[in-house]
Amino acid sequence: MTTETYNERHDPADAGRRPPRATVGSYRIEEEMFGKAFDGKIVSRIWAFVEPYRLQMIIAVIAVLVFTGTQLIIPLIVRYAIDYAVVEGGVDYTALLWACAAFGVTIAINYAASYVQESVVGKAAENVLFDMRRAMFGHLQRVSLSFMDKTEVGRLMSRLQGDVNSMQEFLETSVISVGDMALLVGIIVVMLWLDFSLGLLTLSVMPVLFIVRIFWLPRARKAFMAAHETNSVTNGALAEAIHGVKAVQSMERQDVNFTLYNDKATANLRAHLTASKYAQVMVPIVDSLTGLAMAILIVVGGSMVLNERLDVGVMVAFLFYIQRFFDPIRSLTLQYSVMQRAMAAGQRITEVMDVRVDITDKPDAEDLPADMDGSVEFKHVTFGYNPKHPVLKDVNFKVNPGETVALVGPTGSGKSSSMALIHRFYDVQDGQVLVGGRDVRDVTQESLGRHIAMVLQEPFLFTGTVFENIRYRKSEATREDVVEAAKTVGAHDFIMRLPGGYDAELGERGGNLSLGQRQLISFARALVADAKILVLDEATANIDSYTEMLIQKALVKLLEGRTGLVIAHRLATIRGADRIIVLQNGQVIETGNHDALMAKKGLYSKLYNLNYASFDDIPDTELEAATEGAGDGTT
């Protein structure tokens, strides 16, 4: 179902009543802004998805700590081998063998811990990613259309894909960060334990790093933010150009659009180069500090060895530790942007999960009975997408079981909104909508959907076979049911001409079929659903005359024994309806069959006598004149 269908799509006045959509660029800039470097509230919300895998995460952290411990032990084993295996007059083979054995065991533990950490974290992060996507998808299937009306599809796709991936990356690196911090602390403790004064002297370069980070962090944050913003704008422009490629080519806008996109892409390139510069600037600084610390160690430590104030093994161990000391600092620096992306992504994910589901079943809601009569009634219904600007105003009418009723009127009069209320896509602000004599708010949405089938102006077909699309609403339908429905609506012949017939694969949205063919398949789908109430929302508006003739024939059988509500702008389509309800400005102006309305010489008669094929074709000036000419006696 398209969002436009329930927004009275062509009415500028009505469109203005609903909350405005953000522009492609503006909402994404707002959406993609970086959050805090660390947000405890976001982490606690995301932890709900991690909680089922807490044991795996604990195992991973333990494995990381074991891995870190082996990295701390290896230099100590080397120190032992140098100081105790190498003795005056030769080599102490016993000590050497012990050192080799310890080294082998440590390497084996190191490998095992690394394997466990990588495999466990990888699987846990993938499971968390899967659970997040499933939860978000499930929630988006239930959210009210009022949310979907003002939310871009690209925005939701970004959250389901990119943002969840950012959280997965954060989960994987956060475990590694625990190891980096443990390694950093462990190296400091071990160096101070080996030789306190030399350890302090070696660590004297650390204040320089902290001073650099004080000046680096705000500039890096600003650069990362700018890169993210320009990336969002560029992607928005790209998506818009791809979706509108037909319009672009028809208006020969290729060169202009390329120039506009090139400007955005160039700005994005510059922003990313700046961000890359700040992301990488810490690496040479850390490398320089590593070299400085090693120079201090060699000069000072070397003199201490010569003066026999320091064992050679300790000196070598210090060299190993200094080489490893700045690795976790470098790693934590690079993970800063990962954490920022994760916090921003987590914010957007929780925003989706917090979207309120306005249309829910009451705790005591009951199923519509299978033998419900199929009647539809509006009792003093007032409704608006914005409650301050109602689209329907105190509307009253009843559709009897088995009756076919057409709703007509100028665009924006409230026809499609009425259909939306019958299926309870929205709730009324005042009054009641009754289906089978029951208020739609008192029955379950699932049972309501079983009894109402809808065919829209723009049929939506899903990727898959023709057979799967026709039985989409009723998955237990047999092939015989599907074929019979297709024959009834006149779709069987063209389906059999497709490669594979009913097993032919459809492209995205059925793009490899004509609009008329897609509409016939949607008719077959509605017939297979076997619902008591059939809603046709401008189902014949965009098809050719031949296909319309086929559909008109199909409608006779389609509506047989069913309650039919038909929205049609083509006047020829509704002449055969049992009753016609004329709406204008959200109010019922006239009701009756075609002959009765013509005899009344009211609004319907005036419009019909203008000899236009569709209400949409009537100019506003003539529409206003007809309305005034109809007078008050037409109701």
pLDDT at 6 over 70: no
> 406 and 331, same structural domain?
no
Q: What is the pLDDT of residue 387?
A: 81
> 383 and 346, same structural domain?
no
Instruction: Render pLDDT for 31-66 as a digit per residue (tens, 0 to 9).
Output: 333 445 556 677 777 778 888 888 988 898 999 999
CATH number, domain at 122?
A: 1.20.1560.10
Domain end point (choices 319, 353, 387): 353
Q: Higher confidence at residue 409 or residue 378?
A: 378
If one counts every other C-beta atom within 10 angstroms of the C-beta of residue 64, the result is: 25
Domain end point (choices 338, 353, 368): 353
Instruction: Render pLDDT for 463-522 as a digit per residue (tens, 0 to 9).
Output: 788 888 888 878 788 888 889 888 887 888 888 988 888 988 886 666 678 777 888 888
Q: Does 606 reside within a domain?
A: yes
Q: What is the pLDDT of residue 382?
A: 92
In three-state secondary structure terms, 403 is: coil
Looking at mean pLDDT, say which of 111-120, 140-149, 224-233, 528-537 comes out highest: 111-120
Domain end point (choices 353, 387, 409): 353
The two tokens of residue 455 are: 């065919």
> 537 and 484, same structural domain?
yes
Q: What is the pLDDT of residue 274?
A: 83
Q: Does 7 reside within a domain?
A: no
Q: What is the pLDDT of residue 63?
A: 92
CATH number, domain at 437?
A: 3.40.50.300
Least confident of 67-71, 380-384, 530-534, 604-608: 604-608
Least confident of 183-187, 254-258, 358-362, 575-579: 358-362
> 140 and 60, same structural domain?
yes
> 387 and 271, same structural domain?
no
Q: What is the pLDDT of residue 30?
A: 36
Q: Among residues of the chain, what percentage have pLDDT more than 90?
A: 8
At residue 257 the predicted structure's pLDDT band, cuts being 50, 70 and 90, is confident
Q: Does 115 reside within a domain?
A: yes
Q: Does 22 reside within a domain?
A: no
Domain boundaries, position 554: 376-634
Long-range contacts of 209-216 (CB under 8 A, 24+ apart): 209/285, 209/286, 209/289, 209/329, 212/282, 212/285, 213/282, 213/333, 216/278, 216/281, 216/282
> 616 and 558, same structural domain?
yes
Q: Does 11 reside within a domain?
A: no
Q: What is the pLDDT of residue 625?
A: 61
If one counts every other C-beta atom within 10 angstroms of the C-beta of residue 260, the result is: 13
DSSP conformational letter for 212: H
Average per-residue pLDDT for the chain:
77
> 136 and 279, same structural domain?
yes
pLDDT at 29 over 60: no
If one counts every other C-beta atom within 10 angstroms of the C-beta of residue 372, the result is: 18
pLDDT at 565 over 60: yes
- Find out whether 113 and 74 touch, Cβ atoms under 8 Å: no
Q: What is the pLDDT of residue 616?
A: 56
> How many domains does the chain contain in total?
2
> 388 and 247, same structural domain?
no
Q: What is the pLDDT of residue 94?
A: 85
At residue 307 the predicted structure's pLDDT band, cuts being 50, 70 and 90, is confident
Q: Does 4 reside within a domain?
A: no
> 245 and 131, same structural domain?
yes
pLDDT at 583 over 60: yes
> 346 and 392, same structural domain?
no
Q: Does 391 reside within a domain?
A: yes
Q: Does 359 reside within a domain?
A: no
Q: What is the pLDDT of residue 232?
A: 66
Instruction: Render pLDDT for 66-111 as a digit per residue (tens, 0 to 9).
Output: 999 999 999 999 888 888 877 666 677 888 899 899 999 999 999 9
> 383 and 334, same structural domain?
no
What's the burial of 563, exposed, middle or buried (CB within 10 Å: 0-12/13-18/19+)?
buried
> 186 and 62, same structural domain?
yes
User: At CA 3, angle to CA 372 and CA 242, rounded to 5?
Assistant: 145
